[in-house]
Structure formats: C-alpha cells, structure tokens
Chain A
Amino acid sequence: MKLTMASSPHNHSHKSLNKLMLTVIAACIPGFIAQVVFFGTGVIIQLVLALITVSVAEAAIMKMRKRPTFQTLKDGSAWLTAVLLALSIPPLAPWWIIVIGCLFSIIIVKQLYGGLGFNLFNPAMAAYVLLLISFPVQMTAWLPVTDLLGNPISLNQQLSVIFTDFTAAGFSVDQLRVGIDGMTMATPLDTVKTDIAHGLTVSESMQSPLFNEWVGKGWGWVNLGFLIGGLYLIKSKVINWHIPVSVIVTLAICSGIGYIASPGTEPGIVFHLFSGATMFAAFFIATDPVSATTTNKGRLIYGAIIGLLIYLIRTFGGFPDAVAFAVILLNMAVPLIDYYTQPRTYGHGVKK
C-alpha cells in the first residue's frame, strides 16, 4: 500500500487568506451602506472602478512576474485594497482619481516591494496620500449629505460627473456641492477647522446645517457602520482588539484633554471619534496585518501613536483629516516597534 507522507501537524484550522480578506471586506458593508445612503451611489461606481483596476493591475504584474495569476488574485488582498481605497475617496471624484490610486497601490506600493506580505506601507493609505497631495481639489470635494443638496443628483448624473466631470446638465462637482442655502459645503472636520480659524467657537460652527447635535450629519452614521463592522472582525478573530482599542482610546483621551483645556476651540471626544475616518482607520486601516506591528505590546504602542497623530494633525496640521498620514508614519516605525516589543519566551528571564 502506498502511503502519503506529510509533515506534522496534519490538521489545519481551515482559515485561509481568502476567507480572511473576504471577511474584512464583508465587515465594511455597514459603513459602505451608510456612505451610499448619505453620500450617494457614487461610492458604488468608485468601488466597481477600483475592483476592476486592481484586478487588472495585479493580474498584469503576476503575469510579468510569472506567478500564478488566479491563485494570487483569489487571496482577495487586492480587492480589499480596492474596497478600502474606494471608501476613502470622495464619491464624485473623477474616475482617474481612483484608477491612479489603485494602480499606484497595487503596482508600486505592493508588487514592487515583493507582493503580499512584503509591502512596507498600507497600499490603500499610501495611494490615498499620493492622491491627496497630487490632487487636493478633487480629493477634498466631498458632497454634503444628500438631504442637504440643493439639487439631488441621480445615479446617471453621478456617473456623468465621475467620467466627464460634469452632469448632463453641465454642473460641475463644485456646483453640485452648493447646499440648499447656496453655500458650498465642506466636510464637518473641514468646516470646524475653517470656522475656528475664522475665530468662531466650535458651538457656533456646529450651528451649521452640516451638523446634528454632536457630529457631522451622515458622518456619524458612517463611523458607526465601521464600528459595527470592526467589532465583528474582532469577534471573528480576524483582527486583534489591541490596535483599534488603542487608537480609539488614545484619540479619546487626547480630544478629551483638549476639550477640557479649551472647550471653545475643541470639538470634543464624540466629534473626534465619529468624524472623518476615525472608525474606518481604527478597525480597517491600522489593522492591516502586513504593515502593522506583529506583537501585542507593539500593537498597543502602534495604535496609541496613530491615535495621537490623528488628533495632532487634525488639530494643528494643515489637512482636514490625518488617518493616512498617521498610518503611513507608523508603518515606518513597525520594524523598530516589533524589535523592542518581543514577548518573553517561555522559560526565559524571570517570571513576574
């Protein structure tokens, strides 16, 4: 009888990369739905564009590297990058924004570093930073929530804007952004920052129709959606709790201190936690395993510094949001953090 030889262990948890990635993508759904509801179906268009671009890019590179194409695509890591990037950019950004972003993230940030597992930086965030710096106008052109729009726009119009920069009626994005009251709408973070710069207090700024009682209209829901998805990821053991908890707690502490120190110019804890990309960053961006630290102690440090940087850049920096910068900066510190946070091996050193 011919017996098959194999190395132990002979059993496996049946976890797979593909499952892992798809679970993360699935966890994005609540946040994604919130975005669609509050910011329009443009998100879907961006998502489709992104998925197509990354698949083509990854397949082409795999062909060039003479690696199994389908096998690699199947692991789902490129798709996850596409989802994360599509959720990060303004829904009505021109089509080439997402395409450039996807090509850059897959080809330059990921594959040129050796493919999955070898990239130093979070591909989605690296691409986001590239786009933000290169095309600041397009990248900050967020529409206000749909119910604030002066003239609600259909899916067709959104398609037209994305691919031609104008709706069929000849409106540009900027024109579309004009609210009911005829004012151009920015994101809540932007609004508060600008208003404070203009000498208004936070509470005065929050009188704007952009806000409900605590946070920007729509943004609170989007963040809540990502929070729910993130909790699911922790529960299903796809991610460890360390990074998200660390990011959120640090950001809360910082904003709390800021609020106590200067209530007039500080929007407070809830505003920080539920504005911009806070929850998205804490659960979906900072937890990217490849570019994050690998030790539990390291994760706490990594998350804490990201939280701190988010607060500092939001409060004192020139950009409205800070997630991408914070994550990219910390990606660079990962080897160092990993090195200094190795756990004590069994039988080594003194047991406490």
Chain B
Amino acid sequence: MEKLIQQIKQGKVWPFAGGIHPPGQKSLSNANPITRLPLPDKLVVPLKQHIGANGQLIVEKGQTVLKGQALTKPVANWSVPVHAPTSGIITDICQMPSAHPSALPELSIIITPDGKDCWCELIPHVSFADLSHDELINIIHNSGISGMGGAGFPTYIKADSRKPIEFLIVNAVECEPYITADDVLMREHAAQIVSGIKIMQQLLCPTLTIIGIEDNKPEAIEAMKLAAKDDESIVVQTVPTVYPSGGERQLIQLLTDKEVPSGGIPADIGVLVHNVGTLYAIEQAVIEGKPLIERVVTVTGNTIHNAGNVWALLGSEIKHLLDCQGFSPVPQQRVVMGGPMMGFTLPTVRIGVIKTTNCILAPDHNELAEPGPEQACIRCSACADACPASLLPQQLQWFAKSKEYDKLKEYNLFDCIECGACAYVCPSEIPLVQYYRVAKVEIKEQQAEKVKAERAKERFELRKERLEREQEARQNRHKRKPAITKSADEKQKVADALARVKSSDEKSDNKSAVAAAIARAKAKKNSGELEPDNSEVAKERAARKEQARAYKAQKEAGSSTDETTEDKKSAVAAAIARAKAKKAAKADEATPSEKSPVDDKKAAVAAAIARAKAKKAAKVEEASATEQPPADDKKAAVAAAIARAKAKKAAKADEAKASLEVIAAAEPEQIQDSAPLSAEDKKKAAVAAAIVRAKAKKAAKADEAKASLEVTAAGEPEQIQDSAPLSAEDKKKAAVAAVAAAIARAKAKKAAKADEAKASLEVTAAGEPEQIQDSAPLSAEDKKKAAVAAAIARAKAKKAAKADEAKASLEVTAVGEPEQIQDSAPLSAEDKKKAAVAKAIARAKAKKTQQEGSDKS
C-alpha cells in the first residue's frame, strides 16, 4: 500500500490492455474560453436525466418558476431532482423525445423563459467544513447532481459510500476525441474543482486523491497542479493519450494498478471515480448553493463555424447550441451527442441538453467517414488487440451473429464497455459494438423472460400449495369443531330434544310406517324404473348394510336401556344415541340430530323397519317393497332409519364435519322451534334432520357443499314453523318425513358417488320440505304424493350419482316430476302444482348453490 502510494506519487502509471489512438481533433474547440449562450426561447427539461428513477413532479402547467427552483423532488431510490434553469413560465408538461440513443419520449417540463433570469433564494455554505456528512449529502442530492462524465449515476449515492475509500480518482482524462469540455473547465475553474475535491474528501476520507489528465491537455494539467499544490493528498497524474483511458475501469487500472472485479463497482476495491464536471457542480451546490442547472458543452465539428465550449442551460435545445455557434449542415448530416467513439446520433435537434451532455458533434463527411459496407471477418484480431477489457471481440461477433448466448456469456460479453475500439480498428468495418448491444439486449430479454417464467411457476406452485393447505386447514377445522360442539352443547341439545319429544303426546300414526314402506317401494322403483345402474344398486346395498349394522347397534342399545318405557321411545332414543356414538367413533363427525324418538310403537316400528332394511340389503334390494309395518309408529321407525342413515354417512366420509357443524347449528333451532308445537313437529324435525343429514353427506364428499348446506339449513326451520299450526295431518307429515328421510338417504348415496351431486341433493332436500308442507293439509292421498316425491328425489339422486353433470338431468326430472305426481295422486290437484312449484324453486336454488360451490372451489 505504502509502496503503491509511493509509486503513484512518483508518477507511475500502469497501462491497460489494448486501446487505440484515434485523431484527437481537440484543437478545434479548446482554443477559446467558455462562452455563455443567450437565453433560449424555450427550455425542455426532462424529469429524468440520470440513471435511476425520476423525481416527483412538484410544479404544474402555467406556474411561474424562478431560476434554480426545484421542479421535482426525489422520491424513490436513486432519484434526483431537476431544477428550473432560468426563471419563466411552465408552458407545458408533456412527453418529449429524450436525449438517449432511442430518443424515446420522456416526460419533460417545458419552460418559456421570462428573460429576467431571476434566481430563487440560494443557501450558500462557504465553510463547508462545518457541515455534517448528512447535510453535505443532502445538499448534493437536492442540488440534482448526477455524474456528468456520461453515465449520469446519482452522485449522492457515490458520495455516501459505505465502503472505505482508499483512492478518490478525479477523471479529467477526457479521452474521447473532439471533446474539450473538461479541459477548458479545468483551465478556467481549477480552484473550484479542487474545492469540490475537498468536499468529496471530507465525505469519503480517502488516503489519496489522484487527478488523472491525459498528456494532451498541458494547460489543464498546469492549472490543476497549481490549484492543488498546497494539498499533499492530491496528486495530479499525467496519463498517456490512449482511448479509452477515461473509461472508469481503465482509469482505475491506469492510476492504481487495480482491477474492478467483473460485475463489481469501484468501491469494492476502495476506489471512487468522479468526473471533474461533477466536482465543479458539487462545489457550486455546496459553496454557492446553486443547483445543477447548466453545464459546459463542447460544440464542435467541421460544420460548426465557431466550434468551442459553451455554458448551456440544461434543457436548451441542441438547435439553440448549433445556431449560436453557427452551423451549416451537409447532406445527410449527423449530429452526435457525445464523442465520436461512444456518442449517439440524434434523430432531431429539438432535444434538450441534459446533465450528461458533454459534447455536440456535427461532423462533415471528411472528418468522420460514413461507415462502409460490412465485409467478411478475416480473424485478424485487430479488435482483440484494441480491446481495453482483453475480450475477444472477433469471437464475440461470431457468437452474436449466430445467437449463441451461452457462448457470449462464457466469453464475457457483459464486460464489454462498448468503447468502440474494436469497431474502430476493424478492417472489415464490422459494426461490432452494434452486434454486442443487440446481443446484450437479447440476452437480458431472455433472462427477464426466464425470470418471468420462473416467477409464474413459483406463483403457480405456491397457489397449489396454498389451496392444498387451505383444504387441509378446512378439514382440520371441521374435524376439530364437531368434537367440541358435540361434547358440550350438542349433547345437551340432543338430550333436550329427546325430552321434549317424549313429553309430547304420542300419536300413533301409521303414516310414518306407510311412509317407510313407500320409501322402500320407491327404492325399488328407482332401481327398476329409473335407469337400473349396478353401481347405484351396489351403493344402495352398501348403504343398507350400514343401516343394518346401525340397527343392530340400536337393538343392543334398546335391550339394555329403558326400563320404564311402556313406550319404546326412550329405547329408540338410546339406539339413536348409540348410533351417533358409533358415527362419532368411526368418524369424528357424529351428527347430532336426535329429535326422532316418538312413541313406543314408533320405536318398535323403527326397529322393524331397520331390520327389514337389513334383510333387504342382505337379499335383494328391491325385495322389501311389500313390507308395510303398522301404521302408527312408523314415524319413529323413520326417525330411527334416519338416524342410522346419518350414522352411515358419518362413517363413510370424514369430511362430513363441516356440514355437520352446519347441521348441528341448524338443528337445535329447529328443535326449539318445533318444541312448543305438538306431535307433528317431531316429524318435521325428522324431516329437517333428514335434510340436514343429507347435507352432511354432501358435505362429507365435497367441501364446497357447505354453501349450499347453509342455504338448506336456513330454509328448513321456517318450513317447519309454517307447518306447525297444522294438527291432525301430522301423520301424513310424518309419512312425508319418512319419505324425506328416504330421500335423504338417496341423497347420501348420490353424494357418495358423485361429488357434484351435492347441488342436486340440495335441490331435493330443499324442495321436499315444502312439498311436505303443501301436502300436509291433505288427507291420505298425500302419502302417495309424498312417496312419489321421494321416489322422484331418489331418482334424481341416482341420476346425479351417475353423471357428474347431474344438474342438467335434474332439471329434466324436476320438470318431469310434477306430472308424475299428478299421475300418482289424482287427488288435490292444487298441491301437486304447489309441489311442482316448490320443486322448481328448489332446483333453482340448487343450481345457484352449485354455482356458488363451484365458484368457491
């Protein structure tokens, strides 16, 4: 380190690889002092004149601004403000072509100067040594200073380097031919530049500051040496004139023998490079308080009469500069912003000077020849000899032409600084830099594309994961919740319900039994009339077996429990309870729908029915049709059957919890509502329970069923209430209830088969109670109707089970049903209609819910 500094102080430089010696042409413009241009008619100030985000606009159209007034304020990272270059009125804020090779429009503020050139209030800090680090950084930031050498990197970020800085390098090399802006600036403002260096030194505390100047600027070297002569820590280093020694990386190697690692920044190796123009701007900002509103621009070329350097306000149109210096264009005139090696041609002279505009070059065709046609590469590797980055431009060119992007990366394309040395020396006049630019853009696009694709993939996978997680969470929730509810209030409620049922006078209604019989008959019908499907039958069989099993359990329970009962209700209740217990035991989702037990007879009937069912299941499904147990206590039987059905459902699908909850929630209310009502409630309750259970099944299968379940759950209590005032006909209702239970079971089957069946299930579930209600006032014939309805429901269920698209068929059946009802029940014509209507409504609901369900899922 010591040795290195010693060597540097002795004037040693370490030449970089390659480099070329294009004609300098500097004497065209460096002979005269910097002149100040008259105020232009119009200033076009782009919001973004540097690398990074543009500031936020804080002025508006029509506003009068003073010279130096901020037009934007920095917001995001790397954003620096722009200031009004003179006082005047903002006549427009619009998109204007930018000072960029693409000339893509950029939001610009158009100011019409008022000619007064009146400054806003400035806050100078003559003794900047008193300012804190942050204050200095803020001044530099708010003065809108960005690198003025070419790249336009925000200076405040560089000045606020977190990394320790060993060498502060002042880039006064100006290696591009023609440009003399820094040269004359140093000649005229060396003292200010040294002040700027001192501000930077205060901020960065470097060990040594090296000012690198090419040996073709002796006056500037003298001026800088003189200005810095008192300061031991500043070394003015003369470097040989080689293009591109002014490249940041090349200059670092030249002055310190260090290389910036590929992909790194100079600060990584403790070096920071600032352009002299930037340092002058820093001095102006801190000591004078003036924001960056003007810069030195070299206006040169053989078509310019009065080539030289000018102080140009940022935003002055190039046309203004050319006109002021005298410009006589040649045919196919090129106007280059920047130097001949790295500058870019402008599409129009109506573009404003920006912070990085160091030169306007308007050459004729003799001094800068038009490029000739591209010829074959002869692999002479003159390009490699010229490359300051030690790349193999010739190889890169082959790969760029054949779009071998991997090879390009392997050959370090991205270390190319696009200095143009290779293209300059190429005897075949191959526009090498152009090939590299295109290749770089293509590679970047490809990478962006890749990143995008990867992100999309990631998003997709995250979504999948999330959906899975949600589903699992849902399942877990459902598993947990019923367990809790069951244990506490559910049991309580069930007990209450049982008590209520018992207390209510027992009405022996054969209806329920009849209903059960009908249900069975229907079952047969289904299997026979409506598309006999084996899988369906198998399901049914399985369901019945389950039932039988449940019944067995019930029987056991019945034998063990109620002593007192002249009525077997309690026994039934117990059986039900046990069935539930089983359910719970099997799958955690024990459904609490215990309103069933009615009179003793009923219980007996229930048992009988259950047994009968078991038999049926064992033998042939359709065999049991004839079985018609005693009328009175059929309700109870039905209820029991329902209970069992529930048990099965629960046993089968674990996911039932969700629906169970719903049911659990819905039932107590139902029970309560029905409690004050007489005997019929029981039936209703049973119906409701059946419905609920059906829902449970549905839920068990497809999670999306919940929505629809709620719908039905919500609908039921009301239905029950509606039917409550009716007394005598309850029996019929009971029958209906049985039917409902049957339907429910059928639904369960459906659910078991096709997940999508839920929707249809709901339809039936929802539709039936209404039917029941409607039919309640009617006498004996209702039973038949109910049976019919149940049959229809089952038929629907099957359909649903078969085809996933059940809905369509459901509608069909739904449409068909009213007629069936009419056929089977010639009595009470109106009810049929009502029933039909109800069904239609139900179907509509079903569809809706189905839709909702699918939406959710």
Give the interface of A toward B (CB within 8 A): 1-17, 19-20, 71, 75, 77, 115-118, 240, 289-290, 292, 294-296, 338, 342-348, 351
Contacts and interface: CB of A to CB of B under 8 A. Distances in A.
A15 B382 CA distance: 10
A117 B378 contact: yes
Contacts of A4: 332-334, 345
B469 to A, nearest CB: 46
A344 B259 CA distance: 12
A20 B343 contact: no
10 contacts: A6-B370, A11-B424, A12-B372, A12-B429, A71-B373, A296-B385, A345-B412, A346-B17, A347-B249, A347-B415
B262 A348 contact: yes
Nearest to B350: A1
Interface string B326-345: 00010011111010111111
B362 to A, nearest CB: 10
B381 A294 contact: yes
Considering the complex of A and B, which 4 residue pairs feature the smallest CB-CB distances, nearest first? Answer: A9-B420, A347-B262, A117-B376, A289-B380
A77 B385 CA distance: 22
B829 interface: no
Given A4-B334, A7-B431, A295 B22 contact: no
A347 B378 contact: no
Which of B264, B371, B376 gathers the greatest number of chain A CB atoms within 10 Å?
A: B376
Given A16-B427, A348-B415, A8 B384 contact: no
Contact of A10 (B343, B376, B385): B343
A12 to B, nearest CB: 6
B441 interface: no
Given A3-B347, A11-B22, A12-B371, A343 B424 contact: no
Given A13-B22, A294-B395, A343-B384, 20 more contacts: A2-B333, A3-B334, A8-B338, A8-B340, A8-B344, A10-B341, A12-B371, A14-B369, A15-B427, A16-B428, A117-B377, A117-B378, A289-B379, A290-B378, A295-B392, A346-B249, A346-B253, A346-B259, A346-B262, A348-B261
A114 to B, nearest CB: 9
Contacts of B368: 10-11
Given A3-B333, A7-B433, A347-B264, A289 B378 contact: yes
A346 B420 contact: no
Contacts of B428: 16-17
A8 B22 CA distance: 14
Contacts of A12: 369, 371-372, 423-424, 429
Which of A1, A13, A292, A348 gathers the greatest number of chain B CB atoms within 10 Å?
A: A13
B753 to A, nearest CB: 67
Given A345-B390, A346-B259, A348-B262, A5 B429 contact: no
Which of B262, B263, B347, B381 gathers the greatest number of chain A CB atoms within 10 Å?
A: B381
A253 B431 CA distance: 43
A117 B379 contact: yes
Contacts of A3: 333-335, 345-349
Contacts of A348: 261-262, 412, 415
A287 B384 CA distance: 16
A9 B23 CA distance: 13
B434 interface: yes
B856 to A, nearest CB: 56
B342 A294 contact: no
A7 B336 CA distance: 10
A8 B427 contact: no
Nearest to A16: B427
A13 B425 contact: yes
B389 A346 contact: yes
Interface of B: 16-17, 20, 22-23, 177, 249, 253, 258-264, 329, 332-336, 338, 340-349, 361, 363, 368-373, 375-382, 384-385, 388-392, 394-395, 411-412, 415, 418, 420-421, 423-429, 431, 433-434, 437
A12 B365 CA distance: 12
A10 B340 contact: yes
B429 A16 contact: yes
Nearest to A339: B395
B373 A347 contact: no
B427 A9 contact: no
B345 A290 contact: no
Nearest to B392: A342
A297 to B, nearest CB: 11
Contact of A351 (B23, B249, B259, B344): B259
A17 B433 contact: no
A15 B22 CA distance: 12
Nearest to A351: B259
A16 B372 contact: yes
Nearest to A240: B385
A77 B378 CA distance: 10
Nearest to A292: B379
Nearest to B367: A11
Contacts of B418: 8
B363 to A, nearest CB: 7
Contacts of A342: 392, 411
B392 A8 contact: no
Contacts of A10: 334, 336, 340-341, 343, 345, 361, 363, 368
Nearest to B381: A294
A241 to B, nearest CB: 12
A266 B379 CA distance: 38
B434 A343 contact: no
A346 B373 contact: no
Contacts of A77: 378
A14 B249 CA distance: 28
Nearest to B329: A1
A67 to B, nearest CB: 10
A295 B384 contact: yes
A351 B257 CA distance: 9
Contacts of B377: 117
Contacts of B22: 11, 13
Contacts of A117: 376-379
B103 to A, nearest CB: 9
B738 to A, nearest CB: 87
B376 A347 contact: no
Contacts of B381: 289, 294-295
A6 B384 CA distance: 23
Contacts of B340: 8-11
A19 B428 CA distance: 11
Contacts of B424: 9, 11-13
Nearest to A338: B395
A14 B368 CA distance: 10
A289 B415 CA distance: 25
Contacts of B378: 17, 20, 77, 116-117, 289-290
Contact of B420 (A8, A294, A344): A8
Contacts of B344: 8
A13 B332 contact: no
Which of B345, B373, B427, B429 gathers the greatest number of chain A CB atoms within 10 Å?
A: B427
B427 A17 contact: yes
A78 to B, nearest CB: 12
Nearest to B330: A4
Contacts of B437: 7
A5 B335 CA distance: 8
Contact of B343 (A1, A8, A289, A338): A8
A97 B371 CA distance: 41
A81 to B, nearest CB: 12
Nearest to A291: B379
A58 to B, nearest CB: 13
Contacts of A344: 390
Nearest to A14: B369
Contact of B334 (A6, A17, A346): A6
A12 B425 CA distance: 7
A294 B253 CA distance: 25
Nearest to A342: B392
Nearest to A68: B373
Contacts of A11: 22-23, 177, 340-341, 368-369, 424
